């Protein structure tokens, strides 16, 4: 096969744009001369594109290669092939003795159509014009509800519920086992600052974070199975020491109290963001959370969509 010419031009009318890609091919197959004419329909408001059109002949088969770009994750093409024997005045088709990337569900990437031409039409010596038609199909984006376990090293008990779709929402709560513990005093230089109970105290060696988060946000579908989430709420990570309170009279233990170390504590607005990836109904999440933009904690989770 010898390609004699390749050119590209744009035709406009009041309602639509048509990108016309033409390649002229001459080859010997029972003295058959073909003129390949490839048409792709585009919406005026979108950036879908078909390009890099190549035609070749092997035996009795005609192969048309093409590349599709610019389709959104919920868009596909319905490709069909037509031919004309009167230089494009009228077309017959769609042809049926075809294989390859033809029909519905054609998406971005490199594709090819193979037509067993002589099985379908008893050609003689003539000029043929081919019309490859791409119909743009848009799949409706369905919303679905989800529930997911989510947590990190500080707030390891968490639940996120919401919806995913083009635009969705979620609410989230995370905490640890000490999340609702509150401090009565501050820790300073190894001592309890302004301790005012009668008697005395002793550190009992129990210490750790009292942490929780409560908030919500939005989700956005960035690709077929990829979602972005971002939100904010109230969060705290207070580092607490536990002390035992004793009476001066008989040295009996009278209770326990929590003391906060301000140098290792943080409380206020917590923002979190990340991605959700969908495997069928299974959801895997990963992201980061920060309180007052002072600390960053990575989050992860697993969930299910309904």
pLDDT tens for the 306 residues of the chain, in order: 222 222 222 223 333 333 333 433 333 344 444 555 544 444 333 567 777 777 777 777 888 888 888 888 888 888 888 877 787 788 888 989 999 999 999 999 999 999 888 888 876 666 667 777 788 888 888 899 999 999 999 999 999 999 999 999 999 999 999 999 999 999 999 999 999 999 999 999 999 999 999 999 999 999 999 999 999 999 999 999 999 999 998 889 999 999 999 999 999 999 999 999 999 999 999 999 999 999 899 999 999 999
Task: Label residue 294 left, alpha or beta by phi (over 0 means left) and psi (-120 to 50 means alpha).
Answer: alpha
pLDDT of residue 276: 98
Residue 262: partners with Cβ closer than 8 Å, 6 or more residues away: 186, 187
pLDDT of residue 265: 95
* pTM for the model: 0.71
Q: In what order do the strands lie in the sheet with 2-12?
A: 2-12, 17-26, 33-42, 127-138, 75-84, 103-106
Return d(Cα 152, Cα 131) in angstroms, integer. Answer: 57
Return d(Cα 53, Cα 295) in angstroms, integer. Answer: 53
For each of the domains in the chain, give its residue range(s) and CATH number, in order of start: 2-138 (2.60.40), 144-305 (2.40.160)
Give me the residues paired with residue 42 across strands.
Answer: 17
């Amino acid at each position: 096969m010898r390609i004699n010419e390749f050119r590209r031009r744009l035709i406009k009318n009041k309602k639509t744009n048509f990108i016309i890609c033409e390649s002229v091919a001459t080859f010997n197959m029972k003295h058959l001369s073909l003129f390949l004419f490839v048409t792709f329909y585009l919406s005026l408001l979108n950036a879908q594109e078909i390009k890099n059109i190549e035609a070749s002949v092997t035996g009795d088969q005609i192969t048309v290669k093409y590349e599709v770009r610019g389709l959104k994750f919920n868009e596909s093409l319905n490709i069909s092939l037509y031919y004309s024997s009167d230089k494009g005045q009228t077309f017959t088709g769609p042809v049926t003795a075809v294989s390859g990337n033809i029909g519905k569900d054609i998406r971005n990437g490199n594709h090819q159509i193979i037509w067993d031409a002589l099985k379908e039409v008893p050609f003689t010596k003539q000029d043929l014009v081919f019309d490859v038609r791409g119909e743009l199909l848009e799949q409706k984006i369905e919303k679905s509800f989800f529930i997911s376990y989510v947590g990190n090293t500080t707030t390891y008990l968490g639940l996120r519920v919401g919806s995913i779709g083009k635009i969705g929402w979620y609410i989230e709560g995370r905490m640890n086992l000490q999340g609702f513990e509150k401090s009565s005093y501050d820790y300073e230089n190894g001592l309890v600052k302004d301790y005012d109970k009668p008697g005395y105290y002793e550190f009992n060696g129990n210490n750790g974070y009292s942490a929780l988060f409560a908030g919500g946000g939005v989700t956005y579908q960035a690709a077929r199975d990829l979602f972005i989430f971002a939100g904010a709420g109230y969060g705290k990570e207070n580092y607490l020491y536990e002390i035992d309170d004793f009476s001066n009279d008989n040295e009996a233990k009278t209770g326990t109290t929590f003391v906060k170390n301000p140098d290792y504590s943080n409380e206020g607005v917590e923002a979190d963001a990340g991605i959700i990836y969908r495997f069928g109904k299974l959801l895997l999440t990963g992201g980061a959370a920060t309180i007052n933009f002072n600390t960053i904690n990575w989050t992860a989770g697993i969930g299910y969509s309904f």
